[in-house]
């Protein structure tokens, strides 16, 4: 059955890729996700001498559980600021766009595989749509919600995006489900 889903998998990945472009560049759903520091030049100048490697950093960050229990660390934590910082490598848009398309291709394949196990050939449009939509919501939204619980990132844009992505993939698979 998976061979009969090759076209909806590929079309879904391409449609999701373009929907992602619309979400970020046209609708700008993620613009409120990022705040600009008023004195960003000062902060960048202060960080530059540390020559930080690409990666994510937490501050204050204890070395281990024992240090976290020390009064000195608790005072540092209480005094703040507390935060997360990600140091990025220079962006390569071509690579990132390719990885995004690859991500959508893998998600579309896995959702198609899941549907092929749960839905027989000839399943009606609405049943396929509901199944694929629910699987899409799990794929596109679940991870970011858990991440936001711990790291306080904004979820609203991801929620809207996930609904649209799930509707897109659900419609494509439902319209092309094997008879």
What would the pLDDT profile of 57-67 be if each residue is shown by its tens digit?
A: 999 999 999 99
Q: Tokens standing for 91?
A: 């962006």
Q: CA 156 to CA 177: how far, in whole Å?
A: 31
Q: How confident is the model at residue 110 (pLDDT cuts 50, 70, 90)?
A: very high
Note the pLDDT of residue 32. Answer: 86
The dihedral region occupied by 82, where left means phi > 0, alpha psi between -120 and 50, and beta the remainder, is beta
Please say if the pLDDT value at position 144 is more than 90. Answer: no
Please say if the pLDDT value at position 150 is more than 90. Answer: no
Q: Quick: pLDDT tens for 95-105.
A: 999 999 999 99
Q: Tokens standing for 107?
A: 């998600």
Note the pLDDT of residue 154. Answer: 82
Note the pLDDT of residue 34. Answer: 86
Whole-Å CA distances, 100 to 21, 23, 107, 131, 162 = 10, 13, 11, 23, 15
CA angle 30, 108, 133 (to 5 degrees): 70
pTM of the model: 0.84
**Residue reference for tokens 């934590």:** 77
Q: How confident is the model at residue 29 (pLDDT cuts 50, 70, 90)?
A: confident
Stronger pLDDT, 27 or 127, i.e. the higher one: 127
Average pLDDT over residues 156-167: 93
Please say if the pLDDT value at position 155 is more than 90. Answer: no
Percent helix, strand and coil across the chain, each to the nearest 5: 70, 5, 25
Average pLDDT over residues 133-161: 88
Q: Length of the chain in residues, anyone?
A: 179
Average pLDDT over residues 17-37: 90
């Amino acid at each position: 059955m998976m061979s009969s889903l090759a076209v909806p998998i590929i079309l879904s990945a391409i449609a999701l890729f373009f929907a992602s472009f619309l979400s970020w560049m046209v609708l700008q759903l993620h613009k409120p996700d990022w705040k600009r520091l008023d004195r960003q030049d000062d902060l960048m100048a202060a960080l530059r001498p540390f020559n930080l490697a690409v990666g994510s950093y937490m501050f204050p960050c204890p070395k281990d559980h024992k240090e976290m229990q020390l009064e000195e660390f608790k005072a540092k934590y209480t005094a703040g600021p507390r935060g997360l910082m990600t140091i990025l490598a220079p962006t390569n848009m071509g690579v990132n766009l390719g990885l995004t398309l690859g991500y959508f291709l893998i998600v579309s394949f896995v959702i198609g595989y899941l549907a092929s196990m749960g839905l027989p050939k000839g399943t009606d449009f609405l049943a396929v749509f509901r199944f694929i939509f629910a699987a899409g919501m799990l794929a596109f939204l679940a991870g970011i919600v858990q991440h936001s619980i711990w790291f306080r990132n904004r979820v609203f844009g991801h929620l809207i995006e996930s609904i649209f992505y799930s509707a897109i993939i659900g419609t494509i698979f439902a319209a092309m489900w094997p008879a």
